[in-house]
Amino acid sequence: MALGIIGGTSLFSTKLLADAKERALDTSYGTVYLLVATVQSQEVVYIPRHGKESSIPPHRINYKANIRAFKELGVEDIIGVTSVGSLKHAIPPQSLIAPHDYISLCSIPTYYDTELIHVTPGLDEPLRKRIIDAGRSLGISIIDRGVYFQTVGPRLETRAEINLMKEYADVVGMNMASEATLATELGLRYANISTVDNYAHGIIAGEALDYKDIVAAASKSREKVEKVLVKVVEGMK
Ligand code: HPA
């Protein structure tokens, strides 16, 4: 069974996909650009959530089509790779974190637009553990708990928003909760590894925050994340 990976800023130009075959898959929610790669002789289906040209902003990502594409290809385990800002001094940039829960209070996507069905959201604990164990066996430290706060994007947060979030969550990002929720609705397993690429706005007094720096920081963690993903894939044999 193929592993699904959905990545964004943290995996821009990843080497994992060097020999991947490109595909455009039509789903009832829209067409999804994806790559099918062989990693350690295992099939990996990779969806770049910002699209082929890395140009779709977070609030316009077609999450329903993306997660549906995994389902249609028979993928049952999905690892989301996301870039986050830290809400805590103790979680410095360049850390990796595998969140155990999330908060997402607005723009919650759903497949249940015409049926009265309420799933109980969450992350898949066995898959999360596989990510953490992969890191451990490589000597790559992954913070093994944390609450992810999802915002809508595309703008970053105000200082006041971050002051509120930091009381309840550890990292802030724009994607993970939507993917996890939709995966749950389709009965797929979803867990996440996030690269901590900055302190969120105002966490360090006087520190300026610029998206270009976030992208540059994410590229520094890419190699570590790739190693962890390869190790998870190896464990599938
Ligand atoms: N806020 C929201 N999303 C992010 C951030 C941030 O500070 N860093 C990386 N993704």
Query: Helical H runs in 25-115?
Result: 63-72
The per-residue pLDDT for range 97-147, each reduced to its tens digit, is: 999 999 999 889 999 999 999 999 999 999 999 999 999 999 999 999 999
- Give, using CA atoms, the residue closest to atom 10 of ligand 1: 84
User: What are the backbone angles phi and psi of residue 184, rounded to the nearest 5°?
Assistant: -60, -45
Mean pLDDT of 209-217: 89
The per-residue pLDDT for range 19-46, each reduced to its tens digit, is: 899 999 999 999 999 999 998 888 999 9
Task: Output the CA 173–ligand 1 centroid distance in Å.
Answer: 5
The per-residue pLDDT for range 58-101, each reduced to its tens digit, is: 999 999 999 999 999 999 999 999 999 999 999 999 999 999 99
Which pLDDT belongs to residue 166? 98
Cβ(85) – ligand 1 distance below 6 Å: yes
- With bands split at pLDDT 50, 70 and 90, how would you rate the model's confidence at 236? confident
Cβ(172) – ligand 1 distance below 6 Å: yes
Q: Is the pLDDT of residue 206 over 90?
A: no
- With bands split at pLDDT 50, 70 and 90, how would you rate the model's confidence at 9? confident
Cβ(156) – ligand 1 distance below 6 Å: yes
Q: Is the pLDDT of residue 13 over 80?
A: no
- With bands split at pLDDT 50, 70 and 90, how would you rate the model's confidence at 16? confident
Q: Name the domain count of the chain.
A: 1
What range defines the domain where residue 198 resides?
3-234
Whole-number percent of the chain with pLDDT over 90: 83
In this structure, what CATH number is given to the domain that contains residue 108? 3.40.50.1580
Cβ(173) – ligand 1 distance below 6 Å: yes
CA 59/CA 44 separation, integer angstroms? 26
Ligand 1 pocket test: which of 50, 81, 84, 166 has the largest number of ligand atoms within 8 Å of its C-beta? 84
DSSP state at residue 143: B
Give Cβ neighbours of residue 228 (< 8 Å, ≥ 6 apart).
96, 131, 134, 135, 138, 140, 142, 193
Looking up tokens 């990502």 gives: 61
Interhelix angle 211-234/125-138, rounded to 10 degrees, is 90
Q: Do 82 and 177 form a contact (C-beta atoms < 8 A)?
A: no
